[in-house]
Amino acid sequence: MKSLKQLKFNNTFHHLGKPFYSEVNPQGISRPFLVSASQQVAQLIGLRPDEIHTPYFIDLFSGQALLPGFQPLAMVYSGHQFGFYNPQLGDGRALLLGEVDCNAEKWDLSLKGAGMTPYSRNGDGRSVLRSSIREFLCSEAMAGLGIPTTRALCVIGGEDPVFRETVEKSATLVRVTQSHVRFGTFEYFHYTEKPEVLKRLADYVICHHFPESLESDEKYPHFFGEIIQRTAVMIAHWQAAGFAHGVMNTDNMSILGQTFDYGPFGFMEDYDPGYICNHSDVKGRYAFQQQPAIGLTNLNALGYALSSLMTNEDLIRKLQEYEPTFHACYAGLMRKKLGLLGAQDEDHDLWSDLLQLMENAGANYTILFRTLSEYSIDDTNTELRELFKDQEEFGAWLGRYNGRLKQQEDTGPSRQKRMKAVNPKYILRNYLAQRAIEKAEKEQDYSEVNRLLALLYRPFDEHEGMEAYADAPPDWGKSLVISCSS
């Protein structure tokens, strides 16, 4: 582990040159203070955890100072937003500070809320404390669940007023990932008719993130296929976890297949395939059940952007791999959630029928599967049965489930242990995040943020004394409104 000044930087994206970004220094926020930081992410980039609490750390990641090795830049990209192409977006409030080399891995440090850039589009370039806390907690919660995601190093608060629907306090967040290249980065160079620049970008991404494609006789189709595979796996994990992203625009889609840019996200409470977590999504384009199809739509947009690098036949052939990959991954995840070993033809009907029963009963998605993890063939399972209104229908389903379990050897404690390792007891419920935000905003008390962080790193464990955090939300928690402005 190293101190901040000992971190090794190799800013490979900066080496690409001017077509890809604008050089911009951060505009620091006033009177910065540490809200919360992730020791896990600090260790990931090779930073000593004790560095987190130093004034120098706060100055750097509030935009007040630059570390030797930082070469701040705002990346240019475009993208399809709610189905419509926006020709130029770019980092309007974020800067790629630099790339840390640690144990043969490269980690981007991106400062969100760093002030205006050439791509701010009349915005102020700032982030607010509320949205920064939400992104920080969800980035780390997703990592705890084993879902592909970007990470977050810290949230730094400040005293500057920021005007949204109301006046809020400023904040910065440091996002950490191997690459900030998005689907929309390729779209920008395609639609501006710069095929040579696009090829340079593709070669850069392949070299640094998909080296196995260099060994293929079909370098670019192989590269595209890898992105398709990773995206399908990511969205399968979303669906199995009951997670809705909320803004699946192509500028929010990582070429690494990581959950990227947390805004009006939500973990589903009562099972509802039509769940819309984004109040701004009035037509339900990004509803929970739409996410797999939108993933394919976005990959089609990326494929069109890459059409100068491969034939239409190659593009179509690779895109046809998406649905089988998604369904295979999702099926595997659902079998694990049900504690099933092996694969049988009736398994699909078993979980799809359960989901229908859950929808009919308004059963809580996370609580149901966690309770199912306690299921015993030799018990009345009263707690589980009480989650369903129609006892006759659920009893019939339990009979089928019983029969399936009896076909495998571990029908008792070992199965329950396996199921608890994939069915979380704790998730980042919107009302829990809101409660932590209100404590931070009104009382300058960040203890709830840190308590949630510790809990969500180990979401499958019991956490004695924390059982209330696993409860279904109160009525006011179910009706929280989250929009893109969050």
Closest listed residue to residue 231, CA positions, set 329, 135, 311: 329
Nearest to 265 by CA among 421, 149, 176: 149
> What distance in Å separates the CA atoms of residue 407 and residue 342, rounded to the nearest whole number?
10
Residue 338, Ramachandran bin (φ over 0: left; ψ between -120 and 50: alpha; else beta): alpha
Measured at the alpha carbon of residue 447, what is the angle toward residues 247 and 131, in degrees to the nearest 5?
20
**β strands within 124-225, DSSP E:** 127-128, 151-163, 167-177
Active-site residue set = 251
CA distances 109 to 47, 116, 151, 241, Å, are 12, 18, 10, 27
Q: What is the secondary structure of 257-277 as a DSSP string?
A: --B---SS-EE-SB--TT---
User: Which tokens in the block code for residue 57?
Assistant: 């750390």
The pair of three-digit structure tokens given for residue 51, joined into one six-digit string: 């560095």
| Helix, strand counts (H, E) of the chain | 18, 13
CB pairs under 8 A, 24+ apart, for 278-281? Answer: 278/246, 278/247, 278/482, 278/483, 278/484, 279/481, 279/482, 279/483, 280/483, 280/484, 280/485, 281/82, 281/246, 281/247
Q: What is the rounded CA–CA span in Å between residue 77 and residue 92? A: 10
d(CA 183, CA 260): 11
Q: Which two tokens stand for residue 341?
A: 């070993």
Place of tokens 């993208």: 79
Between vectors from CA 323 to CA 317 and to CA 325, what angle results, nearest 5°?
Answer: 95
Kindly report the backbone phi and psi dihedral angles of residue 476, in degrees, each rounded to the nearest multiple of 5, phi listed first: -65, -30
